[in-house]
A and B are shown apart, each in its own frame.
Chain A
Amino acid sequence: MSTSAGQTGTVLTVEDFSVDYLGETTVRAVRHVDLSLGRGEILGLAGESGCGKSTLAYGLTRLLKPPAVISSGRAVFHSREGYDIDLGALHGEDLRAFRWDKISMVFQGAMNSLNPVISIRAQLEDIFSTHRPELSRAERRQRCGDLLERVGVDRDRLRSYPHELSGGMRQRVMIAMAMALEPQVMIMDEPTTALDVVVQREILLEITRLRDELGFAVVFITHDLPLLLEISDRIAVMRAGEITELGSAAQVYSQPEHPYTEQLLASFPSLTGQRGDFIRAGLDERLLDLDPVRVADVDGGASR
């Protein structure tokens, strides 16, 4: 608790973080990632499938299961109250409590992980009775209702069962659950990918509004770079387990340094601008060269 970064405005420091998948050949899924997450900041983590962005999220929250192991580095949480916690030093019950309390997560398709036979109220109350046993029954009820209203779902919905809610509403309930204990960091892995654009927009607005209101920091992981450019303060671009570029949203958008960032940006045609007109301007073989047929596999493919 000496020189805590808690007061300096950093809530999570990640140093030299690597994750390996052990097996016959070890795969390095995350390689030497250094990151710092400011208090109340929205950090966008962009990358394509298989780039290691989800593995990083699971690694930070220590949800990895073997054969995935953290092979180097550490993640340190700087609490608002002024003490530091090394996430690697937590085990068992401490880790579980820490996860809801200080860092919480919303994953892609999380809405499908609600228990279908238990009402929304019971599932929300469960969090409080586990982590805040000192609360009275009435207080608990009150808080559950408040939570739902906070994410823009009517209080009456407490009585509903998951199947009675739309996908968007269920995802909001999941976000409400993640926020229940007022964590200081929320990690969101493709939280809106399965949803329609209009619903996605509503949820994003809700997340940014709640961030302003409650001051938690968000690590927002998605492949949708334009979306990140819109909501995040800073953006990290990941490729093959490494962070190739890290900068403010404006900087990444207007002056990308790494060619991969440029390539990613170019992959999204502009809605109102001219970028993307080339689609019908004639075949550009370079685009298809990005996805080459691996001929090294020939023998394996042919002999089967």
Chain B
Amino acid sequence: MALSPKLAVGLTLCGGIALFGLLGPLFVGDPQRVDNIGLQPPGNGHLLGTTQTGQDVFAQLAYATRGSLLIGVVVGLLAVILAAGFGIIGAYIGGWVDEGFSLFSNVMLVLPGLPLMIVISSYVQNKGIWLVAGVLALTSWAGGARVLRAVTLSLRSRDYISASRVAGEKTWRILLVELLPNLVPLLAAMFVFAVIGAILGEAGLAFIGLGAGGSWTWGTMLFWAGNGLALRLGALWWFLPPGLLITVFGAGLAMINFSIDEIINPKLRDQTRRARRRWSASKRQIAATEEATR
């Protein structure tokens, strides 16, 4: 399949940021090191300037990117696994298992992430990055489970699943080999969606001061920038880079998500620009032929 421009741009943006998060921390100094040159604008040995306490913004950004991506990927994977477990298995087995699983998904669906986090943070003093990721994953899989359940219910009654049963295939093999491959595009889209949600969710939590203590993410950077009155002091270099990276990464993932949607649903694909470009040529043809027949 040819790479659509949308997918190419999305992959480039996300790939670039991921690479930065992966390799960046190896080349920068300690993001925590305090210096007496506070609030330096970019240049002069500090690529993106310094914070109020003289910490290097570029170094912080590199670590923050790694932290945010880690949370995104962990939460994305957990959410997809939970959604697949509850959605697909429940729907395929049916009966009481399905009733129980879907009841549980529905309860989880209405559990609000933010208040839950506030409640948990009032009990736990030292929240690690894993706790935050766990809570985000717990509160974000339920919607996906419902979608997967609906799709599985429709796939389960397809003749090719019945045919596999008649051929004597075991249940787990039908699930993994016959059913799951047909769900892969949907799972991929779900994963991408969960990653965006997790990164934004974590940034939100961190910004209001409920993030993981002692770790760097885009959210904690914004939190410290807000604390240090970066906006009022006009320190653009402090809060703009993390904000921009969140936006760009979100946009890139969204583009990838759209491309996956187009693969799942060929109707959408016909509406993409590539199809339309082919079209504008034939539209001229249409006009010409209609003219001729008149």
Contacts of B282 in A (CB 8 A): 22-23, 66-67
Q: Which of B30-38, B44-52, B59-67, B285-293 contacts A (4 or more CB under 8 A)?
A: B285-293
A window 45-76: CB within 8 A of B: 66-67, 69-74
CA distance A70 to B290 in the complex (A): 7
CB < 8 Å neighbour of B293 from A23, A24, A73: A73
A window 21-40: CB within 8 A of B: 22-24
What 1/0 flags go to B1-28 for Cβ under 8 Å of A? 0000000000000000000000000000
Binding site secondary structure of chain B: helix
B window 187-215: CB within 8 A of A: none
Does B283 make an interface contact (CB < 8 A)? yes
Q: Which residue of chain B is the closest to A68 with respect to CB atoms?
A: B286
Q: Is the CB of B289 within 8 A of A71?
A: yes
Q: Is the CB of A69 within 8 A of B294?
A: no
Q: Which residue of chain A is the closest to B294 with respect to CB atoms?
A: A88
Contacts of B283 in A (CB 8 A): 66
- For B283, B292, B293, the residue with the greatest tally of chain A CB atoms inside 10 Å of its CB is B293
Q: Which residue of chain A is the closest to B287 with respect to CB atoms?
A: A69
Does A224 make an interface contact (CB < 8 A)? no
Contacts of A182 in B (CB 8 A): none
Does B278 make an interface contact (CB < 8 A)? yes
Contacts of A23 in B (CB 8 A): 278, 282
Does A101 make an interface contact (CB < 8 A)? no
Contacts of A20 in B (CB 8 A): 289
Contacts of A66 in B (CB 8 A): 282-283, 286
Q: Is the CB of B286 within 8 A of A88?
A: no
Contacts of A24 in B (CB 8 A): 278
CA distance A169 to B142 in the complex (A): 42
CA distance A88 to B289 in the complex (A): 13
What 1/0 flags go to A87-110 for Cβ under 8 Å of B? 011000000000000000000000
Q: Which residue of chain B is the closest to A20 with respect to CB atoms?
A: B289
Contacts of B285 in A (CB 8 A): 22, 69
Q: How far is the CB of B105 from chain A (nearest CB, A)?
A: 28
Q: How far is the CB of A276 from chain B (nearest CB, A)?
A: 27
- For A23, A69, A88, the residue with the greatest tally of chain B CB atoms inside 10 Å of its CB is A69
Contacts of B292 in A (CB 8 A): 71
Q: Is the CB of B286 within 8 A of A22?
A: yes
Q: Is the CB of A71 within 8 A of B278?
A: no
- For A24, A67, A72, the residue with the greatest tally of chain B CB atoms inside 10 Å of its CB is A67
Q: How far is the CB of B231 from chain A (nearest CB, A)?
A: 51
CA distance A88 to B292 in the complex (A): 12
Q: How far is the CB of B133 from chain A (nearest CB, A)?
A: 39
Q: Which residue of chain A is the closest to B283 with respect to CB atoms?
A: A66
What 1/0 flags go to B255-294 for Cβ under 8 Å of A? 0000000000000000000000011001101100110111
Q: Which residue of chain A is the closest to B281 with respect to CB atoms?
A: A22
Q: How far is the CB of A71 from chain B (nearest CB, A)?
A: 5
What 1/0 flags go to B93-130 for Cβ under 8 Å of A? 00000000000000000000000000000000000000
Contacts of A73 in B (CB 8 A): 293
Contacts A22-B285, A66-B286, A69-B286 given: A88-B293 contact, CB under 8 Å?
yes
Contacts of B290 in A (CB 8 A): 69-70
Q: How far is the CB of A144 from chain B (nearest CB, A)?
A: 36
Q: Is the CB of B293 within 8 A of A70?
A: yes
CA distance A88 to B293 in the complex (A): 8
Q: How far is the CB of A13 from chain B (nearest CB, A)?
A: 16
Q: Is the CB of B278 within 8 A of A74?
A: no
Contacts of B278 in A (CB 8 A): 23-24
CA distance A72 to B293 in the complex (A): 6
Contacts of B294 in A (CB 8 A): 88-89
CA distance A20 to B283 in the complex (A): 13
Q: How far is the CB of A65 from chain B (nearest CB, A)?
A: 11
CA distance A66 to B278 in the complex (A): 13
CA distance A22 to B293 in the complex (A): 15
Q: How far is the CB of B218 from chain A (nearest CB, A)?
A: 41
Q: How far is the CB of B232 from chain A (nearest CB, A)?
A: 55
Q: Is the CB of B286 within 8 A of A67?
A: yes
Q: Which residue of chain B is the closest to A67 with respect to CB atoms?
A: B282
Q: Which residue of chain A is the closest to B288 with respect to CB atoms?
A: A69
Contacts of B279 in A (CB 8 A): 67
CA distance A70 to B294 in the complex (A): 10
Q: Which residue of chain B is the closest to A71 with respect to CB atoms?
A: B289
Q: How far is the CB of A270 from chain B (nearest CB, A)?
A: 31
Contacts of A89 in B (CB 8 A): 294
Interface residues of B (CB under 8 A from A): 278-279, 282-283, 285-286, 289-290, 292-294
Can you name 7 A-B pairs with beta carbons within 8 Å? A22-B285, A23-B278, A67-B279, A69-B286, A70-B290, A70-B293, A73-B293
Interface residues of A (CB under 8 A from B): 20, 22-24, 66-67, 69-74, 88-89
7 A-B pairs besides A66-B283, A70-B289 with CB distance below 8 A are A20-B289, A22-B285, A22-B286, A23-B278, A69-B285, A69-B286, A71-B289
